[in-house]
Chain A
Amino acid sequence: MTFGESDSPTLADVEAVVRENVSGHVDGDRHEQGKQRLLASLRHGRPRTTRVRRVVLFAAVLGALVGGGVYVWKQRATARLTYDVAGGLLSDSGYVRSSGPSGARLSFSDGSRVDLQDGARARIAAVDAHGARLAIENGHAALNVAHLPNAAWYVDAGPFVIQVTGTQFDVDWSSYDDTLSVDLHEGSLVVSGPPAPTGVLLRAGQRLTAHEGRLSIEALELAVQVAETPPPALDPPLPDADPALAEPLPAEPLPAASSPSPVAGF
């Protein structure tokens, strides 16, 4: 063995220690075993190499993840919304009424909320994966509907149907004098009923009032100001419907309320 003559080892020393101590030799039996193993692999089909196994494993894991994701997504997409009631009573038939002066709150699993004022009565007519159908029997309700893809909410108030996709609004329905009032704070919605069978589009900042077969839409701020001024001695008639604001929609029949649930197609 010849190593470098200097004090510190050189690369020649490195070469020498490896070349002299590490060979590729194996005894005859092991050599023959290796050969037979190779020939057997070729005869019986080559075993999958590590790379192929890794690719297959990766594909399997990826497939499982994608499949799991699709399953969870489908489950979430088709699962009915859930809800609970705070401050109110809920009967088996979906009838809700407040149990205290602060009113009742309906909280849905998609983040939507419905606040029923004290004395208000409502019924959850149906619930599905994309929304619910709520019937206001009497009183005031403030709705905050989560703006989600495919959201479909309906509010029935007497003969009127309010179609909602995601918005914030107040509904007041008086079953005593058949008066509907809708204050829209955000988004848009469609109200249909006897005065507007094909539906009227309401935009943010507008108030819709329907009474005695007449329907009117006015700016919400103006309506609030009017409401704050002292009432005149005589009961004034409701303002006529503003044709510029009341936009008739193409005739597209709204689905009827279905009870009991589910609300197939609304």
Chain B
Amino acid sequence: MVSRPQHIRARLVALPSPTLAQADDATLARAASSGDPRATSVLWDRFSPLVRRMLRRTLGPTAEVETLVQEVFLRALRQLGSLPDAAQLKPFVVAVTVRVLSAELKRNRMRRLFRLQNPWHTADLGSGDPAARTALSALYRILDELDAEARLAFTLRHFEGLQITELASAMDASLWSAKRRLARANARVQAAVSRDAAFSAYATAASLGDAP
């Protein structure tokens, strides 16, 4: 048997596999944990939008998240072999993302304490609607005041729609603890947005149909 040159093989393995692309999560998890590069490609196609969205919605739309997306996938691929139930691939990826987010939020808090990170600025936000940019800027300033756990509980519940049991599982916390963090975050965010003139104006305009 004639072996293929290494560079040709490297190109071939990067191609998506039609079979794996249609495979269920359990099959994909098993293939990825065995080191199949085609499975990695499919894993990226399937979950990177979810991971990126979670990172952006938790850290803020201006955050540079691509490095963190890479970190999530590298961690997930490294730990995939220890996944007890391969069918639980999506919750597993969510849990890894939450761990990366938790560490990043703590780092960001330290950076803000030492003033190494710029405060939110409306010009940095990507949204095309200036009113929405102002509201988002106000909202993420409010979220910056929360500790990492409360902020994660809030964003996972309200922006990603996780149920409280899923939230507790993703945060590796008890149900009671997850509820307590969420309740604390809800109360603080509700009070803060009510007091915030920019966010109130945007919400009022939106409710009247002025906002796009």
Do A and B form a real pair?
A: yes
Could you tell me which A residues sit within 8 Å of B by CB distance?
Answer: 1, 3-5, 7-11, 13-26, 30-31, 34-39, 41-43, 46-47, 49-51
A43 touches which of B10, B50, B135, B186 (Cβ 8 Å): B10
Q: Which of B44, B53, B158, B189 contacts A38 (CB 8 A)?
A: B44
In the complex, chain B residues whose CB is within 8 Å of the CB of A46: 74, 78
Is A23 a contact partner of B136 (Cβ separation < 8 A)?
A: no
Q: For A30, what are the chain B residues with a Cβ–Cβ distance below 8 Å? A: 66
Q: Known contacts A24-B56, A26-B52; is A16 also within 8 Å of B40 by CB?
A: no
Q: Does B203 contact A (CB under 8 A)?
A: yes
Return the CB mask of B1-33 against A: 1 if under 8 Å, else 0.
Answer: 000000000100110000000000000000000
Of B80-88, B115-123, B194-202, the stretch lying at the interface with chain A is B194-202
Chain B residue total in the interface (Cβ 8 A): 51
Residue in B13, B51, B199, B206 whose Cβ sees the most chain A Cβ within 10 Å? B206
Known contacts A22-B56, A22-B61; is A17 also within 8 Å of B70 by CB? no
- Asked whether, in the complex, the Cβ of A11 is within 8 Å of the Cβ of B190, the reply is yes
In the complex, are the beta carbons of B61 and A21 less than 8 A apart?
A: yes
Chain B contact surface mostly:
helix
Q: Among residues 86 to 144 in chain B, which have CB atoms less than 8 Å away from a CB atom of chain A?
A: 103, 127, 129, 132, 135-136, 139
- Known A3-B207, A26-B52, A35-B41; contact A21-B199, beta-carbon cutoff 8 A: no
Distance in angstroms between the alpha carbons of A26 and B65 in the assembled complex: 12
Complex Cα–Cα for A84 and B41 (A): 76
Closest to B195 in A: A8
Determine if A5 and B207 form an interchain contact, defined as CB atoms under 8 angstroms apart: yes
Nearest Cβ on chain B to A240's Cβ, whole angstroms: 78
Residue of B nearest to A49 (CB): B71
CA gap between A48 and B203 in the complex, in Å? 44
Q: Contacts A4-B207, A41-B74, A46-B74; is A18 near B194 (CB within 8 Å)?
A: no
In the complex, the chain B residue whose C-beta lies closest to that of A19 is B159
Please indicate the chain A residues that have their CB under 8 angstroms from the CB of B13 in the complex.
39
Do residues B71 and A21 form an inter-chain contact, with CB atoms below 8 A? no
Query: With the chains together, A2 CA to B119 CA distance in Å?
Result: 29
- Say yes or no: A38 contacts B73, CB within 8 Å: yes
- CB nearest neighbor in A for B204: A7
Contact present for A22 and B57 (CB under 8 Å): yes
Given A9-B204, A22-B56, A49-B71, 18 more A-B residue pairs with CB atoms under 8 Å apart are: A4-B207, A8-B200, A11-B158, A13-B193, A17-B139, A17-B203, A17-B206, A18-B57, A21-B127, A22-B127, A23-B49, A23-B53, A24-B53, A25-B52, A34-B70, A36-B14, A42-B37, A51-B103
